[in-house]
Chain A
């Protein structure tokens, strides 16, 4: 498998990542010229263009262009399949929305620097490699690339102490997780003797190797590391602080994209490499899933800081998404994939809503800032209601369809009790989502709070809101795509 020269097909397969990298470098270099830095329109549009180009590249790479929908590049380092491209599209769309949403915020914070977009793009490259990596090495590299860029983004507001603190905490814990991750990989490697996922699966074919304690320990450490990345309880503790401390647009981006990337990586590793030993991790994940959604929802109940509330709700949603992984079936994978997609839109929408509000021109994240939004701007409030209902899994929203999928997958795979727990959790979660609704519709508006005027931001809101509803009324495209994307396993 070693030493085969890089072929043109490899480059074609890699074109989205290449595009992103080039775009990133371009931004970095261009920003070196003093005048360009002043230009506020330039870099966002540049980044957006890059992302869209990459998106085009991915979509071009979709079947039927790829024969059989499954191939590999770079000597098996990268998988070329619809699964990967699905997540690629997910990341890129999220990124595009995030870029559109963040511009105004950065302006108001007078922190509108090209580096922001640079790191966003590099993070994207990392995520896409996480999703497409077919070898422990490439996956690790992708993970680190994403992680390091995200650390920086979290600490992006240099002058803001909360931003620093969030970044440092995230960094330390993330570093620890990475360490555990790579150590786990080394143990797996020690047993399996190969680093490619397919190789590991073959190696685990024989029983005594599959049952060796070293492998088990490695596997558990691996699950722990992955759990950390998806913010599963009890490895979630970085999430609330990081999400709260980070600049809101960054939170918007990482709470969706990074989580999705982590899930992409997790599912590929578990379902490709460790398929033979499913029994030894599904129960483990079931416990994590239950703990995660319950903890996330309960902890969110009493939050008055809306960013923290949504942070905990993100944790809870990771719990729901895990149900699909627990199921371990093709249906389960599809469920998780759809859930992540749905989650992306509704969560981006909810976070953008926070970007929309400013108290006396300053950043704000308090529950009461939403007071009377219903009277001030019926449309904004209406959109927020949609997002909240979707997050709570109330029809007719994509959030509901997502829950439908994950619960269904769990029941189908015999995890009915988990589904029941999930269902009840959904009811509990509605309680704190409703607190926002209460603020918006049953409180008097305060003059201090004002809505920012930004076309891109409003477009983001409109788009996400539209998808939140149309995703159900016209669900077939996404659903079919998801189902066709799980064929790799």
Chain B
């Protein structure tokens, strides 16, 4: 069997992406939802890094660095919001949050 090709990476990231999305859909706990969002971002990262590896081009890696940073910031904000929510609603379950509807 020959070495791993770009497509393998793309496939992997696709799976990761899928897992992330499904996670976002089914996990009740807001924290876990955040985690799944991270998975999605990382799926993108895998693509970017793999591509920039297979066709020498730094842009992908630079992009990745930005993505990671942004993801970190995103988590921070997310946790902050979850905490604020918990203070008021005493729950972190996203399916118990539905004041706003219609």
Residue positions of A touching B, CB distance < 8 A: 2, 136-137, 140-141, 144, 148, 151-152, 155, 158-162, 164-169, 171-172, 175-176, 178-180, 182-183, 185-187, 189-190, 193-195, 214, 240-241, 244-245, 303, 308
- Give Cα distance in the complex from A151 to B40, angstroms: 19
Assuming the contacts A148-B73, A161-B99, A175-B78, asked whether A190 and B40 have C-beta atoms less than 8 A apart, the reply is: no
Given A148-B73, A151-B81, A194-B57, A179 and B10 contact (CB-CB distance below 8 Å): no
Known: A140-B66, A183-B43, A189-B60. A244 touches B100 (CB 8 A): yes
* Consensus secondary structure, chain B interface: helix
**A158–B83 Cα gap in the complex (Å)?**
10
Q: How far is the CB of B14 from chain A (nearest CB, A)?
A: 9
> CB of B12 within 8 A of chain A?
no
Bound-state Cα–Cα, A193 to B53, Å: 11
From residue A345, how far is it (CB to closest CB) to chain B in Å?
27
**CB-contact partner of B55 in A2, A171, A183, A193, under 8 A:** A193
Assembled-state Cα–Cα distance A446/B100 (Å) = 27
What are 8 A-B interface contacts by the 8 Å CB criterion?
Answer: A168-B85, A182-B41, A182-B44, A185-B44, A186-B63, A193-B57, A195-B63, A240-B100
- Specify which of A158, A179, A195, A303 is in contact with B44 (CB 8 Å cutoff): A179
Give Cα A195–Cα B58 distance, bound, in whole angstroms: 10
Q: Is B15 located at the chain interface by the 8 A CB criterion?
A: no
Q: Given A137-B66, A176-B40, A178-B74, does the pair A190, B97 have CB atoms closer than 8 Å?
A: no
A102–B45 Cα gap in the complex (Å)? 40
Task: Give 16 new A-B contacts, CB below 8 A, not counting A195-B59, A241-B101.
Answer: A136-B63, A151-B77, A151-B81, A160-B88, A161-B99, A164-B84, A165-B85, A167-B84, A175-B34, A176-B21, A179-B17, A179-B37, A182-B44, A185-B63, A189-B47, A189-B59
Q: Which residue of chain B lies nearest to A214 when distances are taken between CB atoms in the complex?
A: B10
**How many Å lie between the Cα of A165 and that of B94 in the bound state?**
9
Name A161's contact: one of B17, B55, B82, B89 (CB within 8 Å).
Answer: B89
B17 CB, nearest partner CB in chain A, Å: 6
B74 to chain A, nearest CB (A): 6
**A183-B100 CB under 8 A given contacts A144-B73, A148-B74:** no
Nearest Cβ in chain B — how far from A303, in angstroms? 8
Cβ of B88 and Cβ of A141 under 8 Å apart? Answer: no
Q: Whole-angstrom distance from the CB of A452 to the nearest CB of chain B?
A: 25
Task: Tell me the complex Cα distance, A167–B83, Å.
Answer: 12
B76 to chain A, nearest CB (A): 9
Give the residues from 42 to 72 in chain B that come closer than 8 angstroms, CB to CB, to chain A: 43-45, 47-48, 51, 55, 57-60, 62-63, 66-67, 70
Residue on B nearest A303 in the bound complex, by CB: B102
Contact flag A2-B47 (CB < 8 Å), given A166-B100, A244-B100: no
Minimal beta-carbon separation of A177 from chain B (angstroms):
10
> Please, how many angstroms separate the alpha-carbon atoms of A367 and B84 in the complex?
30
Given contacts A193-B55, A195-B63, whether A172 and B33 have CB atoms under 8 Å apart is yes
Partner of B59, one of A180, A194, A214: A194
Residues of A within 8 A of B37 (CB): 172, 175-176, 179
Say yes or no: B74 contacts A186, CB within 8 Å.
no
| Contact (A176, B24) CB under 8 Å given A190-B47, A193-B55 | yes
Asked if A190 contacts B51 (CB within 8 A), the reply is yes
Chain B residues whose C-beta falls within 8 Å of the C-beta of A179 in the assembled complex: 17, 20-21, 37, 40-41, 43-44
Pick from B13, B97, B100, B102 the residue with the most CB of A within 10 Å.
Answer: B100
Instruction: Output the nearest chain A residue to B63 by Cβ-Cβ distance.
Output: A137
Q: How far is the CB of A372 from chain B (nearest CB, A)?
A: 26
A187 neighbours in B (Cβ, 8 Å): 10, 47
Cα distance A162–B41 when bound, in Å? 28
Q: How far is the CA of A24 from the CA of B33 in the complex (A)?
A: 31
Kindly provide the distance from the CB of B30 to the nearest chain A CB, expressed in whole angstroms. 7
Neighbouring B residues of A151 by C-beta, 8 Å: 77, 81
Cβ-closest chain B residue relative to A173: B24
Question: When the two chains form their complex, are residues A168 and B100 in contact, meaning their CB atoms are under 8 A apart?
Answer: no
Take A148-B74, A172-B33, A178-B74 as given contacts and tell me if A137 and B100 are in contact as well, using a CB distance cutoff of 8 Å.
no
Contacting pair B99 A186 (CB below 8 A): no
**B74: A residues at CB distance < 8 A:** 144, 148, 175, 178
Rounded to whole Å, the gap between the CB of B29 and the closest CB of chain A is 12
With A168-B85, A171-B77, A186-B13 as given contacts, are A245 and B100 in contact (CB-CB < 8 Å)?
yes
Smallest Cβ-Cβ distance to B25: which chain A residue: A176
Q: Residue of B at shortest CB range from A245? A: B100
Q: Determine the distance from Cα of A11 to Cα of B45 in the docked complex, in whole angstroms.
A: 30
8 tightest Cβ-Cβ pairs between the two chains A and B: A179-B40, A186-B47, A241-B100, A182-B44, A175-B37, A161-B88, A183-B44, A186-B44
- Which of A162, A183, A189 makes the CB contact (< 8 A) with B51? A189
For B82, list chain A residues within 8 Å (CB): 168
Question: Given the complex of chains A and B, what is the CA–CA distance between A178 and B73 in angstroms?
Answer: 13
Cα of A2 to Cα of B51 in the assembled complex, Å? 18
| Complex Cα spacing A119 to B55, Å | 39
User: Are B100 and A141 in touch, CB under 8 angstroms?
Assistant: no
Choose from A168, A176, A308 the contact partner of B102 (Cβ within 8 Å). A308
Cα of A152 to Cα of B34 in the assembled complex, Å: 16
A206 to chain B, nearest CB (A): 16
